[in-house]
Amino acid sequence: MKSHYIIPFFVLCFSLITACKKNAKSEQEAVESDIVDSSLYPIGTNLRELIFSKPASYDTGYVYAHKKLGKDTILREDFDNGGWENYDSKEWTFDTLVAFQNSDEIPAQLYLPLSDEFGMNKLVEHLYADRLTCIIVAPSFRTQDEGYWLLAEQYHQWAKNNGIQVVAYVDNSEVDPYEMKEALGLSLPINFTHRDFLFPLIDSELGMLVLEYGIIMDKFTKEHFPDLLTFEQKVNEWRSPS
């Protein structure tokens, strides 16, 4: 190859390699974006506005009492056809019918277990938290997920001294969460529920939602839980978004 062709040839090769790398990176970012933003509520969604800013009408919900957990479930009238109205069992008994505010823009699944008998759900507590909140979500407590729960415990231990909070919501219909929590040695605060459809906010068997002032800052499926060092770096990113 003649010398005057060599430099342009290498420049062309370098340009092609750079373009391929950029394209691969863009495709990777697109895939990652699909992973974390595949639910109805993508990163950046302001849940405060979603729930409270629209004109509301009144609807009714069924509150059930658990013999150990107390009043912990509200079921919308919309679920009557699905059999939720007849959810009485040895553990759960119908307690009362309550009225609560609801608008067409509020998905039914956003109504999480009650924190009190007045219809205030626990999600509201997190929406109005004055600090960054990481919420671990799991429709079941499974032994094969032990590694992810131990990671979440590391987040929690680190968070206690760094001005953020890490909590969890776990369905308790399959495994006794008290026993599982003790078996895994978790001090992570866990809210137990009896509904496996809670949180359409994450499309994952086990995932994490990051909230700040009611805004979804980030999401992770269990396969993408960061190690503790990466988690610490992520916290800095969430606190100082670009």
In terms of Cα–Cα distance, which of 103, 94, 51 is closest to 75? Answer: 94
**So where are the chain's domains?**
47-239
Model confidence band, residue 234 (pLDDT cutoffs 50, 70, 90): very high
Averaged pLDDT of the chain = 65
Whether the pLDDT of residue 34 is over 70: the answer is no
Please list, in sequence order, all residues whose beta carbon lies within 8 angstroms of the beta carbon of residue 47, skipping any fewer than 6 positions away: 41, 110, 123, 127, 211, 214, 215, 216
Q: What's the confidence (pLDDT) of residue 53? A: 43
Please list, in sequence order, all residues whose beta carbon lies within 8 angstroms of the beta carbon of residue 190, skipping any fewer than 6 positions away: 167, 168, 169, 170, 177, 181
Whether the pLDDT of residue 189 is over 60: the answer is yes
Q: What's the confidence (pLDDT) of residue 150? A: 95
Model confidence band, residue 226 (pLDDT cutoffs 50, 70, 90): very high
Quote the tokens at residue 225.
């839980």
Instruction: Choose the weakest-confidence range: 112-121, 163-172, 193-202.
Output: 112-121
Superfamily for the 47-239 domain: Glutaredoxin (3.40.30.10)
Q: What is the mean pLDDT of residues 196-225?
A: 75
Q: What's the confidence (pLDDT) of residue 242? A: 61
Share of the chain above pLDDT 90, in %: 18
Q: What is the mean pLDDT of residues 134-161?
A: 89
In terms of Cα–Cα distance, which of 116, 120, 110, 125 is closest to 78? Answer: 110
CA angle 133, 43, 193 (to 5 degrees): 50
Q: What's phi and psi for 105, nearest 5 deg?
A: -80, -10
Tally of residues, the chain? 242
Strand partners, 190: 168
33 vs 205, more confident: 205
Q: Which amino acid is at 113?
A: P
Greatest mean pLDDT among 7-11, 57-61, 204-208: 204-208
In terms of Cα–Cα distance, which of 121, 237, 120 is closest to 169? Answer: 121
Whether the pLDDT of residue 168 is over 50: the answer is yes
Quote the tokens at residue 38.
């595949």
CA angle 220, 223, 224 (to 5 degrees): 45
Q: What's the confidence (pLDDT) of residue 217? A: 92
CA distances from 201 to 8, 87, 138, 144, 241 (A): 51, 25, 12, 23, 21
- Give CA–CA dist 233/215, Å, rounded: 19
- Residues 68-116 have pLDDT tens digits of 555 544 444 444 444 444 444 555 566 555 444 443 433 343 343 333 3
Whether the pLDDT of residue 196 is over 50: the answer is no
Q: What's the confidence (pLDDT) of residue 86? A: 44
Strand partners, 152: none
Q: What's the confidence (pLDDT) of residue 173? A: 56
Report whether 87 contacts 65 (CB < 8 A): no
61 vs 30, more confident: 61
242 vs 4, more confident: 242
Whether the pLDDT of residue 2 is over 90: the answer is no
